[in-house]
Amino acid sequence: MRKFSRRTLLAGLAAGSGAGLLLGGRAFADGPDVSRPLLFHSPPLEPFVDELPRLPRLDGTAHTLDATSTTHRFHRDLAPGAALAYGGCSYLGPVVTAQRGVPTTVEYRNRITAHPFAADVDTSLHGLSERDRTDVPTSMHLHGGVTPPEFDGHPQQISRPGQGMTYRFPNRQDATMLWYHDHAMAMTRLNAHAGLAGVYVLRDEFDTGEAANPLGLPSGEFELELVLQEKIVNSDGSQSIRSTPIVPQGRWEGGAVGDVGVVNGKIWPYTRVARGLYRLRILNAASFSVWDLHFSNHMRFWVVGMEGGLLDAPAPTTRVRLSPGERVDVLVDFGELAPGESVELRNSEPAAPQAAQIGAVHMPVFLRFDVDSGRGHTGGVPHALRSGPGLPPAVGPVPRADHVRTVSLSQPSDVRLPPSIMSLNNLTFASDDIEMPRQGTVEQWNIVNATPDPHPIHLHLVHFRVVERHAIDTLAMCARQPQPPLGIKWTPDPDPYVVDVPHGPEAWETGFKDTVICDPNSVTRIVAYFPTADELGFDPDATFRGPDADGHDGHDPHHEHGADESPGELQGFVWHCHILDHEDHDMMLKYRTVT
C-alpha cells in the first residue's frame, strides 16, 4: 500500500486545479463531506448571520499592545472558544493608525497565560521544548514596515510571558495598509492563527483618511479593513489548527487549510453598505490558502493600491488573486446595485488537488454586502492617484538591476528528517550561507519554484516590483542540476528550461509589493532596491539582542536553547514563504544588506 508522507499530502496544499466549483447557493453550508474522512471539518454553519465587526482603532503615536489569552465567538451558533489577541481585543488586534514621518511607539508585552494550540506545539522544531507549550514564545513583526532590524520582530527575538519590548516604527514610507502579526520561530503558525494579527494603516499628506483627502478616496464609514482568514472550528466553538488526522497532534502538518471563511474574526459575516463607492482594504491573513476573489455578480471594481502603496491610477478588474501576506486596496461601487440587493465577496480558487484528495472542499465565499437605500460616498473613481499636481510621485518604471541572483523554493527529500521540510535554497534557517545584497544597489531575484505548489514569498525591509513569470520544465532542470542533500545551497539556473512566453504582473501587482505569489514550476522575477543607512535613517545591518537574549527569565542562554532560542547577538532581516507552516519549518532564511 502506498504510504502517504506528510510532504506529499500537505506540505504544499495550494496548487490550483480545475476541480468543480461549489459556487453559490448553499453548497458550502451542506456540512462535512463524510466520504472524505482524512480531513477534519467544521460543523455545518449558517452563513451571513453575524454582522461584520468593524475593527477598533488606535489613533495617536504611543500604544500599548499586550498579547493575551482570550475567548472569542466566531459564529452566532458557536460557543466562545479559546484564542489569542492583541490590545484588549478578543481576537486579532486594533487597527493602529499612523502618520508618515511621525514615529509610532508600541509597548509590547506578552501576557499569554494559556495557548489554544498548546497541544499542537511541535517540540522537534528549532529546539522547542515542553516549556514552550505554557511559557509561550512570541515576537511581533510589522509586515511591510521599513523598520530597523532591532524592531522588526526577528523570529529569534523572543518575548515570553511577562517579557516584552518597546518597538519604534519610523513610518518613513508611503501611505498603505501594513499588518502586524506574531513571527516567533517555529510558533508563527500557532500564534498568528490563534489570533495574533492586526491591521496597521499608515497615512500621509495625500492619503489622509479624511473626507476631504486630495485623492478623492472614500473615507470614514466608507473605508473598510477586511482581514480574510480560513479556519476549522470544532463544534464546541474552539479553533483547530489541525487539517488531517493523518498527522498526529503535536507534529508539523505542512499546511493548515480551512473550510470556513473568516472576516475580521467572524465566519461568513454580512454587512450593510450605502449606495456609493467604498474603499476595501483586503488582507489575506490565511495560514495557507491562495484566494481568487470576485463579486457574485461579477461586477467590475478598481485596484488602487497594494502592499507598498497606491498605484498611479485605478486599474479596473473583475478579480484579484491574493496569497497569504498580500494586501490589495480596491474601490467598489455599491451604487450600481438597487436598494435591497445583496452581493457576495467570493473565492474561485479551487481546493488544492492534494488537499482535495483528503477531503478539502472549495471554500467559495467570505462576506455578503447588503445594499441599503441610503446614499454613500458621492464622489466617483479618481482618474489619477499619483504623478500630478497635489499627488504623490509616480510609481515609475522598474529600475535596472545592478546584480541578478537566483534563489530556489523546494521540498528537499532528505531521509534523515522524518518530518518533511520546506526549503529556500535547499538550506535551513540555521544556515549562514545567506543572501547579502549591497546597500544602495538594485537587485533582480529570480525565484525558482521547483515545487508543484504556489508559495507567497515575502522579503522584510524592502518593497519590490514584479517583472515577469516564466513556466519552467522543472524535471529537465533538476535532471541537469540535481538537488544536493539538504544543507548544500542549490540555486539552479532556470533560464535554459523556460517553456513559455513571459507573463507580466497582474493589474494588482504593478505597484510596490512586499509579498509575491511564486507559481508552481516557474520562475518569478522581482526587482528590489536595497536602501542605504542614510536613506533609511537607521543602520539596516546593526546587531541587536532580544528580550530573552541575556536570560533574565532565569534560564541560562548558553545552555540547551543554543542557536535556536537565545542566540545572543542577532543581525539583519529574514525572507520567507508566508504559508505559516512553511516559514516555521523551514522555508525562511536570514539575510543582511551590507556596505
* Distance of closest approach, residue 366 Cβ to Cu ion, in angstroms: 22
Task: Please give the C-alpha separations between residue 479 and each of 448, 473, 508, in angstroms, as whole numbers.
Answer: 15, 10, 35
> With binding defined as CB under 5 A, does residue 579 bind Cu ion?
yes
Task: Identify which of residues 171 and 474 has a Cβ nearer to Cu ion in the complex.
Answer: 474
* Distance of closest approach, residue 3 Cβ to Cu ion, in angstroms: 23
> With binding defined as CB under 5 A, does residue 582 bind Cu ion?
yes
Which residue stretch of 73-81, 229-237, 530-538, 583-591 sits at the interface with Cu ion (rule: CB under 5 A)? 583-591
Restricting to residues 451-510, which ones interact with Cu ion according to CB under 5 A?
455
Contact by Cβ (8 Å): 456, 577: yes
Task: Identify which of residues 477 and 577 has a Cβ nearer to Cu ion in the complex.
Answer: 577
Torsional sign, CA 563, 566, 571, 572: positive
Task: Identify which of residues 398 and 422 has a Cβ nearer to Cu ion in the complex.
Answer: 422
Q: Which position has the grid cell 489569542?
A: 84
* Distance of closest approach, residue 458 Cβ to Cu ion, in angstroms: 10
> With binding defined as CB under 5 A, does residue 407 bind Cu ion?
no
* Distance of closest approach, residue 576 Cβ to Cu ion, in angstroms: 8
Nearest residue to Cu ion, by Cβ distance, number only? 577
Strand, coil or helix: what is 31?
Answer: coil
* Distance of closest approach, residue 265 Cβ to Cu ion, in angstroms: 25
Restricting to residues 219-238, which ones interact with Cu ion according to CB under 5 A?
none
Strand, coil or helix: what is 524?
Answer: strand
Task: Identify which of residues 196 and 450 has a Cβ nearer to Cu ion in the complex.
Answer: 450
Could you give phi then psi for residue 336, rounded to 5 degrees? -75, -10
* Distance of closest approach, residue 322 Cβ to Cu ion, in angstroms: 15
Taking the C-alpha atoms of residue 564 and residue 542, their distance in angstroms, rounded to an integer, is: 20
Task: Identify which of residues 128 and 579 has a Cβ nearer to Cu ion in the complex.
Answer: 579
Site string for Cu ion, 409-448 (x = CB under 5 A): ----------------------------------------
Contact by Cβ (8 Å): 426, 454: no
* Distance of closest approach, residue 466 Cβ to Cu ion, in angstroms: 18
* Distance of closest approach, residue 577 Cβ to Cu ion, in angstroms: 3
Which residue stretch of 273-281, 339-347, 528-536, 573-581 sits at the interface with Cu ion (rule: CB under 5 A)? 573-581
Q: What is the DSSP secondary-structure string of 485-521?
A: STTS------GGGB-S--B---GGGSS-BSEEEE-TT
Q: Of the candidates 165, 577, 588, 589, which one interacts with Cu ion according to CB under 5 A?
A: 577
Q: Residues 256, 261, 262, 268: what is their CA dihedral angle, to the nearest 10 degrees?
A: -160
Which residue stretch of 86-94, 96-104, 478-486, 587-595 sits at the interface with Cu ion (rule: CB under 5 A)? 587-595
Q: E strands of 335-414, at which residues?
A: 342-347, 365-375, 403-410
Task: Identify which of residues 175 and 577 has a Cβ nearer to Cu ion in the complex.
Answer: 577
* Distance of closest approach, residue 451 Cβ to Cu ion, in angstroms: 8
As given in the structure block, the three cell numbers for residue 254 are 505542512
Contact by Cβ (8 Å): 454, 290: yes
Query: How many residues line the site for Cu ion (CB under 5 A)?
Result: 5
Q: 436 Cβ partners below 8 Å, 6+ apart?
A: 591, 592, 593, 594
DSSP-derived pairing of the beta strands 327-333 and 277-284: antiparallel
How far is Cα of residue 1 from the mean position of the Cα atoms in its chain?
Answer: 37
DSSP-derived pairing of the beta strands 441-449 and 342-347: unpaired
Which residue stretch of 1-9, 208-216, 272-280, 580-588 sits at the interface with Cu ion (rule: CB under 5 A)? 580-588
* Distance of closest approach, residue 11 Cβ to Cu ion, in angstroms: 8
Restricting to residues 441-460, which ones interact with Cu ion according to CB under 5 A?
455
Beta bridge partners of 69: 84
Closest CA to 167 of 151, 178, 154: 151
> With binding defined as CB under 5 A, does residue 89 bind Cu ion?
no
> With binding defined as CB under 5 A, does residue 183 bind Cu ion?
no
Summarize as ranges the residues that interact with Cu ion (CB under 5 A).
455, 577, 579, 582, 587
